[in-house]
A and B are shown apart, each in its own frame.
Chain A
Amino acid sequence: MSVPSLPPTAFDEQAAVADIAGIEPRGRMAFLRAPALRRPSMLFGLGVVVFFVLVAIFAPLLEPYDPRAKTGAVYEAPSSAHWLGTDDGGADMLSLVIAGSRVSLIVGFAAALVAMLIGGTIGLWSGFYGGKSDTILMRITDYVLVIPDIPLMIIIAALFGRSLTNIILIIGIIYWTSTARLIRAQTKSVRERAYVTRARALGARNQRLIGKHVLPQVMPLLIANTVLTVAIAIFAETYITFLGLGDPSLISWGRLIENAFTGDAVLNDAWWAIVPPGVCVTLVILACTMIGMAMEDALNPRLRVGHLSVRRFRLRPLKGALETE
């Protein structure tokens, strides 16, 4: 007896409804609900960054005193009048720290944006087009990577002046390389995906392939990487200014630390002149790093470390209802 023949079943509506009945729509932004993004580190990081951004925005309203005015004695210890004491010029430290947040954060975000634009563009172009342009761009990236950042910054600052814009540009121009490499790798991998080949096969031009298919896949990683670059940029601003290359008319955390150093704060036991700006820089960098890493984890689940221990499954006693007769 052979298998009885059945009429081929057509795809029917009921089956279609049944098919999707169990699937909840998740939408494009589904990854935002990934557990990695609810980690305490992410929430802490977000909280800290938001806090400092608000401080920077409302700085003039929050400063108890004019940060540039002499409102107390030199190196006055913290007191109820000056919560963080005063610096070597008698200006209120708390006001200075609050004021400093503006420049530090502006430089951090702006420089990271410059780095992202340069690195992202180079990475995207290199990864998508490959060939000669890839080789050339990657060689350029290697050369820039290899140049020692501090001497380069000193030279550029000496040549072009020390304005805020220049500082932003200097940082941006030096720190785009790792972004470029990361985006190039990601672009290369996305470019090989079947849906990009399919779009090309149906005649889509490169602009469309990049704009609609590749960039959206690469963007989240680019953003995560930019957040990490913010941390680097803030730190870079701090030590550029510490080295005396910053704009002397601007107040930033790096400036405050530099000031404390040249003003012999340590000799005067004036810890309040050094520690607060240092703590602020550290906190913001830490926060950005936490956010960036949590985002990368959410986007790339393979980054999660697998279990290296012996796997132990659990045994369950068979409950009455499960026994076969």
Chain B
Amino acid sequence: MTAPLLQVENLHVWFDLEGGGELHAVQGVSFDLAEGERVGLVGESGCGKTTAILAVMGLLPPSASIAGKVFLDGEDILAQGEETMSPHRWVDVAMVFQGAMNAFNPVKTVGEQIVEPMELHGTASGKQARQQAGELLERVGIPAARASSYPHQFSGGMRQRAAIAMALACTPKVLLADEPTTALDVMVQAQILQLLVGLAADFGLALILVTHDLPIVAQVCERAAVMYAGEIVELGPTDALYHDPRHPYTRLLFAATPDLYGEDAVVSIPGTPPRLDRELTGCPFAPRCDSSFAPCATVKPKLISTAADHTAACHLNDPALKAAS
């Protein structure tokens, strides 16, 4: 078994709060990513998924503190903070941000903005860079001649493609995509997802797709991690997550998503996620869980393996605890 390309180990992120105190936004997240693999990171607002991948890129503000390890090809790029992180940023690990299609500089052409990271990181410059930018645009489905257009002349879908091209400017090995299709129409969404899958297949690009939209992950990703209250509560093949969920939150999240042809009633999950500026006892999902029992309120479940490559943090998977109840 080859070593994974990206390995995140026990990642924690805290944010300092105005007026003292801390927000524990990411609480011990671990996962890995192999070359050419597409992994989904799913969760609702506030679960910490965006913060987690920003931490992997080292793009957090000074009010953040990080702990944990991020191994890229075996090297811990988080070890010395910014010093070890910056050589790899964009060159090895690149990101398509949430709302990237609106984050273009309106006074520079699209081509110039794709060339910019190349020149900044020294991977290409001048004529060669412009040529590569043209090739990148073609690769994402935009005619190379459009490199001299300005962002406002592109439609939303085209801007998102251009944002992906920008992320690929320095031929990274890992692409982190944060809600890449959220503001787009369903047809354009299909085009973008098709593009991402194609890039992963053709160039061995490893992809982490962060989204709240479960069906997208079900269709595009082979594996997925479900996050809740800053932690991964279940991690496994998307097929298993749907057909054999081992955490009530995963099961309920699927049940809360309407399906085109599904006949089952759609449910909602009452309550709200817990506050992350306080210490929690027991399982963070217990107050909203429909299957909680005795240990859930007091003992925090750890991620246990329930099948090959499938882990979940729920006491229901622990035969010893179930027997005792």
Contacts and interface: CB of A to CB of B under 8 A. Distances in A.
A313 B66 contact: yes
A26 interface: no
A15 interface: yes
Contact of B264 (A5, A12, A19): A5
A314 B64 contact: yes
Given A9-B267, A15-B271, A314-B66, A322 B81 contact: no
B299 interface: no
B129 to A, nearest CB: 24
Contacts of A22: 275
B202 interface: no
A318 to B, nearest CB: 5
A2 B58 CA distance: 40
Contact of B10 (A3, A6, A312, A318): A318
B184 interface: no
B269 interface: yes
Interface string A12-56: 101100110010000000000001000000000000000000000
A213 to B, nearest CB: 27
B242 interface: yes
B65 A316 contact: yes
A325 B302 contact: yes
Interface residues of B, number: 43
A316 B55 CA distance: 13
A315 interface: yes
Interface string A303-325: 00001001111111110001111
Interface residues of A, number: 31
Nearest to B69: A318
A311 B302 contact: no
B68 A318 contact: yes
A322 B64 contact: no
B270 interface: yes
A317 B68 CA distance: 8
A323 B251 CA distance: 29
Given A3-B255, A8-B266, A325-B302, A314 B271 contact: no
Determine the main DSSP class of A at the interface with B: loop
Contacts of B2: none
Interface string B88-100: 0000000000000
B267 A311 contact: no
Contact of A19 (B65, B67, B243, B272): B272
A61 interface: no
A229 to B, nearest CB: 31
A148 interface: no
Contacts of A315: 65-67, 78, 80-81
A314 B66 CA distance: 6
Contact of B12 (A1, A7, A8, A316): A316
A317 B67 contact: yes
A315 B81 CA distance: 6
B276 to A, nearest CB: 11
B62 interface: yes
A160 interface: no
Nearest to B64: A313
Nearest to A12: B270
Nearest to B274: A22
Contact of A322 (B28, B65, B66): B28
A160 to B, nearest CB: 50
Contacts of A14: 270
A11 interface: yes
Contacts of A310: 82
A191 to B, nearest CB: 23
Contact of B270 (A2, A3, A15, A323): A15
22 contacts: A2-B264, A3-B254, A3-B264, A5-B264, A6-B255, A6-B265, A8-B265, A8-B266, A14-B270, A18-B272, A19-B271, A22-B275, A307-B62, A311-B61, A313-B55, A313-B66, A313-B82, A315-B67, A318-B67, A322-B28, A324-B30, A325-B302
Given A5-B265, A313-B60, A314-B66, 10 more contacts: A6-B252, A8-B265, A8-B267, A9-B267, A9-B270, A11-B270, A22-B275, A307-B61, A318-B12, A323-B10
Q: What 6 pairs across the A-B complex have the smallest Cβ distances?
A: A15-B270, A5-B264, A316-B67, A314-B65, A313-B60, A15-B271
